[in-house]
A and B are shown apart, each in its own frame.
Chain A
Amino acid sequence: MTDESRPAFSAPEMNGAHPDAIARALPENIAVKCPNCRELLLARDLEKNLKVCQKCGHHFRLTAPERIAMLLDPDSFSEFANGLLSSDPLRFVARSGSYADKLVSEREKTGLEDAVVTGVGSIEGLKLVLAVMDFRFIGGSMGSVVGEKLTRAIEHATADRLPLVIASASGGARQQEGTLSLMQMAKTSAALSRLADAGVVFVSLLTDPTTAGVSASFAFLGDVILAEPGALVGFAGPRVIEQMMHQRLPKDVNTAEFVLKHGMIDGISHRRELRSTLARLLRLHGSGAPRAAQ
Chain B
Amino acid sequence: MAYDLEFERPLADIEKRMAHLQRRGDRMRSDERAQLAELQRELERKTKEIYSSLTPWQRVQVARFRDRPYTNDYVKRMCDDAFELRGDRRYADDRAIQGYVASIGDQTVVLIGHQKGRDLKERQECNFGMAHPEGYRKALRLFRYAERFHMPVVALIDTTGAYPGLGDEERGISQAIAENLLVMAGLRTPIVCIVIGEGGSGGALGIGVGDRVLMLENAVYTVAAPEAAASIIWRDNAFAPDAAQAMKITAPELLELGVVDDIIPEPLGGAHRDYDEAAANVKAAILRELATLQALPVEILLDNRYQRFRVIGLQGITQAVGATKK
Which positions in A face B, CB cutoff 8 Å? Answer: 80-90, 92-96, 113, 143-145, 147-148, 151-152, 156, 173-187, 189-194, 196-197, 212-213, 215-221, 234-236, 240-241, 244-245, 247, 249, 253-254, 258-259, 262-264
Task: Given A93-B246, A175-B224, check contact A235 B169 (CB 8 Å).
Answer: yes
Is the Cβ of A236 less than 8 Å from the Cβ of B317?
Answer: no
Selected from B175, B254, B257, B313, the residue in CB contact (under 8 A) with A143 is: B313
In the bound complex, how far is the Cα of B172 from the Cα of A87, in angstroms? 35
Is the Cβ of B162 less than 8 Å from the Cβ of A235?
Answer: yes
Is the Cβ of B165 less than 8 Å from the Cβ of A216?
Answer: no
Top-10 shortest CB links A-B: A83-B323, A89-B316, A144-B313, A236-B164, A189-B181, A190-B185, A83-B320, A215-B174, A178-B247, A216-B177
Task: Given A83-B325, A92-B246, check contact A194 B306 (CB 8 Å).
Answer: yes
**Interface assignment of B48: CB less than 8 Å from any CB of chain A:** no
Which positions in B face A, CB cutoff 8 Å? Answer: 162-166, 168-175, 177-179, 181-183, 185-186, 199, 201-202, 205-206, 208-209, 221-224, 229, 232-235, 239, 242-243, 246-249, 254, 257, 259, 305-306, 309-310, 312-320, 322-326
Contacts of B169 in A (CB 8 A): 234-236, 241, 253-254, 258, 262
A-B contact pairs, 12 of them (CB 8 A): A87-B317, A90-B248, A96-B233, A144-B313, A176-B233, A182-B202, A186-B185, A194-B186, A194-B306, A215-B174, A221-B178, A259-B172
Contacts of A84 in B (CB 8 A): 317-320, 323
Is the Cβ of A151 less than 8 Å from the Cβ of B166?
Answer: no
Contacts of A241 in B (CB 8 A): 164-166, 169
In the bound complex, how far is the Cα of B166 from the Cα of A235, in angstroms? 10
Q: Which residue of B lies closest to A215 (CB)?
A: B174
In the bound complex, how far is the Cα of B232 from the Cα of A86, in angstroms? 20
Other than the known A83-B322, A193-B182, what 10 A-B pairs have Cβ atoms closer than 8 Å? A80-B324, A89-B313, A175-B232, A190-B185, A216-B173, A216-B174, A220-B178, A258-B170, A262-B172, A263-B172
Contacts of A152 in B (CB 8 A): 326
Is the Cβ of B319 less than 8 Å from the Cβ of A179?
Answer: no
Is the Cβ of A245 less than 8 Å from the Cβ of B181?
Answer: no
In the bound complex, how far is the Cα of B319 from the Cα of A82, in angstroms? 8
Selected from A93, A174, A264, the residue in CB contact (under 8 A) with B172 is: A264
Is the Cβ of A90 less than 8 Å from the Cβ of B247?
Answer: yes
Contacts of B317 in A (CB 8 A): 84-87, 144-145, 148
Give min CB distance, A277 to chain B, whole Å. 21
Query: Which interface residue of B162, B239, B243, B313 has the most chain A CB atoms within 10 A?
Result: B313
Is the Cβ of B164 less than 8 Å from the Cβ of A244?
Answer: yes
Task: Given A80-B324, A221-B179, A235-B164, check contact A179 B222 (CB 8 Å).
Answer: yes
Is the Cβ of B223 less than 8 Å from the Cβ of A181?
Answer: yes
Q: Which residue of B lies closest to A152 (CB)?
A: B326
Q: Which residue of A lies closest to B246 (CB)?
A: A92
Give min CB distance, B301 to chain A, whole Å. 13
Selected from A96, A213, A259, the residue in CB contact (under 8 A) with B223 is: A213
Is the Cβ of A94 less than 8 Å from the Cβ of B246?
Answer: yes
Give min CB distance, A238 to chain B, whole Å. 9
Is the Cβ of A95 less than 8 Å from the Cβ of B178?
Answer: no
Contacts of B246 in A (CB 8 A): 90, 92-94, 178
Contacts of B322 in A (CB 8 A): 83
